[in-house]
Amino acid sequence: MAGEWIKLCVDVWEAPETVRIAEQTGSCVDGVVGRLARIWCWFDKYTVNGRARIGVAFLDRLVKQPGFCSAMAEAGWLRLGEGWVALPRFIRHSGHEGRTRALRARRMQRARNARCATREEERR
């Protein structure tokens, strides 16, 4: 559905966490970002707060990469518990609140850009 989306930072390919995961799993960075996006999308679709009562084996199968979730946890991008997994800072970046925050920031940036363009034209 066109209305469904997740926030993806433009520097995720160069993030130290991404590079660390790539090194630990033997994957290329693009493959890591694709797998991260798949996991983030799953959490966005099936959880409210970024916490799920599933094991890492399920997520590793989801991304077709054994050990991927362990590497995510070592990088600080996944928390592992007995019978549960969670994404840190999920509410800030994902779900309804995260999308609302991102859209509001985008609207405000467009308004600032429009004001700057108007001032520039007035100066000419």
Chain segment 40-57, per-residue pLDDT in tens: 999 988 988 899 999 999
**Distance set, CA 75 to CA 91, 97, 117 (Å):** 19, 25, 42
Q: How far apart are CA 39 and CA 31, in angstroms?
A: 12
Mapped onto helix, strand or coil, the DSSP state of residue 92 is helix
Q: How far apart are CA 124 and CA 80, in angstroms?
A: 59
- Residue 98, pLDDT score: 56
- Residue 104, pLDDT score: 66
What does the pLDDT average to over 32-46?
94
Question: DSSP label at 102?
Answer: H
